[in-house]
Amino acid sequence: MHGASAEFAFRSMSETAAHRWQNADVFEFEAAPETLLRLKLNGLECSGKVADFAVGSRELWYRDECVRMLRDRCGLSPGSPERDDVYHHMAYKAKVHRAVPEAAWTAEMEFEDDEPLEREAHYRVRVEQRNGQRAWSSPVWVRPAF
Q: What is the pLDDT of residue 15?
A: 61
Judge whether residue 12 has pLDDT over 70.
no
**What pLDDT does residue 40 have?**
86
Pair 93, 60: CB distance under 8 Å: yes
Give the tens place of pLDDT for each residue, 40-72: 888 889 999 999 999 999 998 888 888 898 889
Q: How many CA atoms lie within 13 A of 143 on its CB side?
A: 2
Which pTM does this prediction carry?
0.57
- 21 pLDDT band, cuts 50/70/90, is low
